Structure 1
Amino acid sequence: MSAARISQRISAIAESATLAVDAKAKALKAAGRPVIGFGAGEPDFPTPGYIVQAAIEAARQPKYHRYSPAGGLPELKQAIADKTFRDSGYQAAASQVLVTNGGKQAVYNTFATLLDPGDEVIVPTPFWTTYPEAIRLAGGVPVEVFAGPEQGYLVTVDQLEAALTERTKILLFVSPSNPTGAVYSPEQVKEIGQWAASKGLWVVTDEIYEHLTYDGVPFTSIATAVPELGDKVVILNGVAKTYAMTGWRVGWMIGPADVIKAATNLQSHATSNVSNIPQVAALAAVSGPLTAVDEMKVAFDRRRKAIVAGLNAIDGVDCPTPKGAFYVYADVRALLGKEFPSANGPVRPATSAELAALILDEVEVAVVPGEAFGPSGYLRLSYALGDDDLATGVARLQDFLGKAK
C-alpha cells in the first residue's frame, strides 16, 4: 500500500483565502487587467520614513548580521512591554514577550503551546481565516459561534455558554474584528471576560487593530478589563496594521512566563530569531509616536463612510457600519439565487463564493467571500486602498450587482 505524498495534517489545511484572492488580483493586474483589489487587509500607505531609516542604519551594523536570541532582541521585547502598558494599561515584563515572524506565527505558537489533541477553542464567527487552521494544525478543535449582522456581528455570553463543553480550553477574543470591523463595548468586553474567568478558560486576544476605531468608540483590552483572568490570558499583536508594515513581518505574543518560554522553545526550532533588521524597525515603531496611524485613520474613516454608503445603495446588499479595523462585511444573502449576466450567459450564483468569482470575472473587482470566514452569504471588502480605486470598484459593483433579476 503506497503512502500518501502529503501528510493528512497538512492536507487538511485550507489555503489562506484572503491571500489567494489578493494573489489572483495581483496576477491579473500584472497581466494588464484593471483589477480593483478589496481583498487584502493591507494599508496602502508607505511605512513611515523614520522607521525605514532605522532599518537602513541597522543593516550597516555587523552585530545585526548575526544570530540574535530566538525570542527577540531584548530591547525590542522591553519596548513592546512598555508600549502595551502605554496603550492598554496591561503590565508585562520583557520575559513575557516573544517576538514572532508576523502575527500569524504568534497565533500558531500560542495554540501549539496551549492545546493538546481534542482541546476545544471557542471561535466567535465570522473569524479571520487563519484562526481555525492554526487551531487544527495544533491538534485543537475550533468551535464556531456565529453572530450575524442582526446582532452587529458580536457574540453574546449566552451563545458562548451554549458552546461550552468539558473539552473547552480557550476562548478566542478579537476586537476590533477582522473580518467584520465590529468592536465590543467596554461593558461587553468585561462581561465576556468575567464569564471566561468564571469557567477557568484561557483567553487568547488578538489586539492588532487596537488603534483603528472610529466614531469615538474606545478600544478595550480584555486582559486589562478583567484582572480575574489572572495568568490565563495571551495577547497577540504586531506592527503590521498600525504602522503600515505588513511586509516587515514582526508580531508578538505576551503571556505568562512559562507559556512564553515554551513558545520560544518551539520558535527556536521552527524559525530561530525574526530577521534583525525588521526587529530594529519595529523597535523604532513601537517606541515612537502614533502620528502615522492617526493620519491613516483620517483616510480610513473617509473611505469607511464612502464604501458603506456605496454598498448600501445596491438593492440586496446590507452593509453595517464597522466601528473598527478597515473592513466592511456586507450581507449579500438576498442576491444569492438571483440571475446575473455573464460572458457565458445568465448565471445564478448559489453561494457568496460563486458570487465573488463572478464579480472578479465580469467586472474585475476582487472581494473575499464569506466562506473564508464562516457561513456563506457575505462579502468582505477592505477599504485600505486608495480613494480613486475604492470609488471605481464600488461603482463597478453597483453597476453589476444592480443587474440582478
Structure 2
Amino acid sequence: MGFITKAIPIVLAALSTVNGARILEAGPHAETIPNKYIVVMKKDVSEESFSAHTTWLSQTLNSRLMRRAGSSKPMAGMQNKYSLGGIFRAYSGEFDDAMIKDISSHDDVDFIEPDFVVRATTNGTNLTHQDNVPSWGLARVSTRKPGGTTYYYDPSAGKGVTAYVIDTGIDTKHEDFGGRAKWGKNLVDQMDEDCNGHGTHVAGTVGGTKYGLAKGVSLVAVKVLDCEGSGSNSGVIKGMEWAMMDASGGGNGTAKAAGKAVMNMSLGGPRSEATNQAAKAISDAGIFLAVAAGNENMDAQHSSPASEPSVCTVAASTKDDGKANFSNFGSVVDVYAPGKDIVSLKPGGGTDTLSGTSMASPHVCGLGAYLIGLGKQGGPGLCDTIKQMATDAIQSPGEDTTSKLIYNGSGK
C-alpha cells in the first residue's frame, strides 16, 4: 500500500505543562528519534522575538559545550529553523534533557514534541478524451458511474498551475512528464533522483501526460524521504516550508502565485501539532493541499496532517466504488478517490501498480490543478468545490465518513 507512514497514529499526550511549555510525547508505537525534538513557538511571537530566542539558544548551548569539553559527545543543537507565513515559527534539532527543560521554561515556546521516523509502506462542452485509459481511476473521476474506460477532460488540463510533490522525489526525465517536471528542493541527500519510486508514481497520477489527471500541470519535486522511504517529521516540515515559500514567490518562485499552486502529501503518521500547524500555514497562504488519509483502516483523526481541518483529506476507493479495506476513514475525510490497483509511473521508464491512500491523494491534487486551470478559485476553499462536485457513490464508506467520490464535472 502506497502510504508514507510515520508509525501508527496515536494521539499525542502532554507530558508536562508545569511552569512552561507543553512537552508532548508520541504514542507507544511511534518510532521516535533519540534526543531529537521540534520546538514550536506561540502564535503571537514576532520574528524579532523568535530571532532573540534562537540567539539565546545558541549562546546557552555554546556555554554548556565549553563546560562539558572532553566529557561527552556534544549534542548537535538546532538543525532546522522554520517560518511559514508568519503564522508557524519553530525549530528542530538535537537536545539533551537539561536543554529541553530550559527551552520549555521559555515564555515564547508553545510546545515541544519529539521528532520521529517517516517511512514508506507500499501496500464540459469543449471536452477532449483519452480512450482505453491505462489506469481505471482516470475514467472513474470523469464519469458518474463506474466501469468506464475513457477519461473526459477540458484541454486546458491544468496548464499554468504548479503542483508540488512532497515525497521521495520525481524521475523528472520520465518521458510521460514531457519535460514538465523539475527538481525543487532535496532535503535528504545529494542525489536528485527518486531511488524509491513512490514520488514518481504519485507525480504521474497528478500530471503525467498519459497517466495523469492534469496533463498540462508543471511538477516540482520536494524530496523529504530517502531511498528506503525514510526520513524525519522535522525534515517533512522543512520541505513544506520550502514549497510554501516557492509557491508564494519567495524561493525560485516557480508557481508565481499561491493561488496557482497545489501540493500533495502522500504521507502521515501520529497526530502532530507541529505538522498540523505547518499544514494550516500552507492553507492560510492560499495553497490547496491534498493529503492521504492513511492505510491503517482506522479513524484518520489520529493522523497528521490528515487531521488538520484546512487540508483536503483523501480516503481510497476501489474499482467497484467500495471503501478500500486498508483506507482510514472518519469525519476528517473530505472525499474518496481511486486508490486500489492504480497504474502510474516508475523511475527509469515504464509503470508500476500500487495501492494506498497515497495513490488516492494525487487524484485530488491533480483534480485541484485541473480546476484551477479552468478558472476555479484555488486555496483551501477548492476542497469545498471538489466536495460539492463529487458524487454520492461510495458504498459502506465507514463510520461517520462521507460517501463522496471525486468527479471532474465533465457531464458524462
Fold match (TM-score > 0.5): no
Q: Which structure ranks higher in relative contact order (CA pairs < 8 Å, sequence separation ≥ 6)?
A: 1
TM range (shorter): under 0.3
Flag the structure with higher helix content: 1
Flag the structure with higher strand content: 2
